[in-house]
Amino acid sequence: MLVPPYIEKGDKIGIVSIASKVDRDKIVPALEMLEKNGFEVIKGEHIFSAVNQFAATDEQRAADFQKMIDNPQIKAVIFSRGGYGTFRALNYIDWNRFLKHPKWIVGFSDITVLHGKLEKLAVASLHGVMPGHFLHAGKPTKAFSLLMETLNGQPTTYKIKSHRLNRNGKAKGRLTGGNLSVLYSLRGTPLDVDTRGKILFIEDLGEYLYHLDRMMVNLKNGEKLSKLAGLIIGQFTGMKDGNTPFGKNAYEIIFDAIKEYNYPVVFDFPCGHIASNYPLKCGIEAEINVTKSETIFKQN
């Protein structure tokens, strides 16, 4: 796995809108804070454009990203937001120059598509917070501070409170995953996730509980859950029930799908569509130690 160089103050960071259109008022203060932290922010041409629900046409969004990854002076690319649209732009992107000068690609949610693509290219990437969650009440969030530490190359150690559904044990393996709905949408495509011997992490937002069950059954029947080294369950926020109650909450649905396996499992991990969206390096080996009292997550 190729690990991009870590960034330093004074480096250029590209900001691109590759999916849904963005709210300028939410993004501009975050970009100003990046500059105050000592980075030069390079904005994509269409960062604040809009075509229907998208930030621009597929070709325009891809072209903005292409310019960023082709420019060796830009050391990281952070997406303005997720939403929907990354997969539509993917086919317009040429990765040849990027592979000669790799850089950190940062985002989550719909950006799971790019984490999947980079894993196939054997390049590490960063599942982490985007500008809409850099600030809270005008101050940097913990997620932003952790993102900066990770991009600076500091090793990661997270200590997480125990959850009643956790399965204790130790595991090591390359980290893979992201947004569950996006992972589900990649099934049957060249970007279908390879989970064998890896630590998988999943999170999601606003899905119906029955659809969550459908996705977990799909992963189980597709043998994506049976050969894991470990499993990290992030936040499943804003989940919805149907007119007929499903009868289980999100974590119980996930537990039911993996209850027959023996690998360590961590529930309620701080990643996903929440303010405390801790950064995770995709493609790089991670270690989890799940005990009765806490979980320790480590990644160099």
- Helix pair 250-258, 209-221: axis angle to 10 deg: 20
pLDDT of 119-156, one tens digit each? 999 999 999 999 999 998 888 999 999 999 999 999 99
Phi, psi of 173 (to 5 degrees): 170, 160
| Average pLDDT over the chain, rounded to an integer | 96
Q: Percentage of the chain surpassing pLDDT 70?
A: 100
Query: Of 207, 257, 199, 259, which Cα lies nearest the Cα of 227?
Result: 199
For the chain, domains (ranges, CATH) are: 12-154 (3.40.50.10740), 157-299 (3.50.30.60)
Q: Classify the C-alpha dihedral 190-192-195-200 as positive or negative.
A: positive
Which pLDDT belongs to residue 33?
Answer: 92
Q: Is the pLDDT of residue 271 over 90?
A: yes
d(CA 248, CA 254): 10
**Which tokens in the block code for residue 86?**
């990354």
Residue 125 is given by DSSP the state E
Q: Which residues contact 148 (CB under 8 A, 6 or more apart)?
A: 37
pLDDT of 67-110, one tens digit each? 999 999 999 999 999 999 999 999 999 999 999 999 999 999 99
Q: Is the pLDDT of residue 50 over 90?
A: yes
Counting every residue written for the chain, the total comes to: 300
| 245 pLDDT tier (thresholds 50, 70, 90) | very high
Which pLDDT belongs to residue 136?
Answer: 87
Q: Percentage of the chain surpassing pLDDT 90?
A: 97
Q: Is the pLDDT of residue 275 over 90?
A: no
Which pLDDT belongs to residue 138?
Answer: 85
Q: For the chain, what is the largest distance between any 2 Cα atoms, rounded to a whole number of angstroms?
A: 55
Classified as helix, coil or strand, 128 is coil
d(CA 125, CA 116): 9
